[in-house]
Amino acid sequence: MKIYTKTGDKGTSSLYNGARRDKDDEIFEALGTTDELTSNLGLAMEHLEDVDWGYELIERLVKIQSLLQDVGSNLATPREQSDEARLAKTSFDVEGKDVAMLEEWIDGYDEELPKLTQFILPSGGKASATLHVSRTVCRRAERRVQPLVRDRLCDKSVAIFLNRLSDFLFIAARWAAQSQGIPERIYK
């Protein structure tokens, strides 16, 4: 099977429900941003491979990457424009268990960190800085998803998950800096 199909040469691409849309459609903007986020998480994991304390965080980031694939499936299946079989395959975190998992991870890392009394700047070493970049891409993904939630094109749980994920990435970046012994830069 060849990697190229030529079906997108005219500036459109296909969703999971078979509908074709322009490549700059809001759904593809959201999909592209979550894909960018997944790639940034991969880069963060490469930086974590170099440290002995990074294994748990790597496992969590791999889990998040898999969940982002599920987010992509949800985004690629407009809720009010797809059949029941596809909707059932692509629903996302309707029970909130993935958000609860992120909250548990946030609370665990946060307990190990000093309280924030000032704004910090993205810093703290390569792993931490890359996690901060991931956080900002996650915030952009959240902004791209919000119109889709409003128009009922994706599950509301996708936006909630991305919101909590950006919180997790902020805490994970701080935790990585502390674990590596690299001070965070303070905003002055």
Q: Which fold has domain 23-186?
A: Hypothetical Protein Ta1238; Chain: A; (1.20.1200)
Round to whole Å and give the CA distance between 185 and 178: 12
Round to whole Å and give the CA distance between 124 and 180: 8
Round to whole Å and give the CA distance between 91 and 137: 23
Round to whole Å and give the CA distance between 147 and 141: 11
Q: What is the pLDDT of residue 94?
A: 86
Over the stretch 107-158, which tens digit does the pLDDT of each residue have?
999 999 999 999 998 999 999 999 999 999 999 999 999 999 999 999 999 9
Q: Residue 44 corresponds to which tokens in the numbers above?
A: 């963060």
Domain boundaries, the chain: 23-186
Question: Are 124 and 183 spatial neighbours (Cβ–Cβ below 8 Å)?
Answer: yes
The model carries a pTM of 0.94
Question: Are 77 and 86 spatial neighbours (Cβ–Cβ below 8 Å)?
Answer: yes
Q: pLDDT-based confidence at 5, cuts 50/70/90?
A: confident
- 85: how many CB neighbours lie within 10 A of its CB? 8
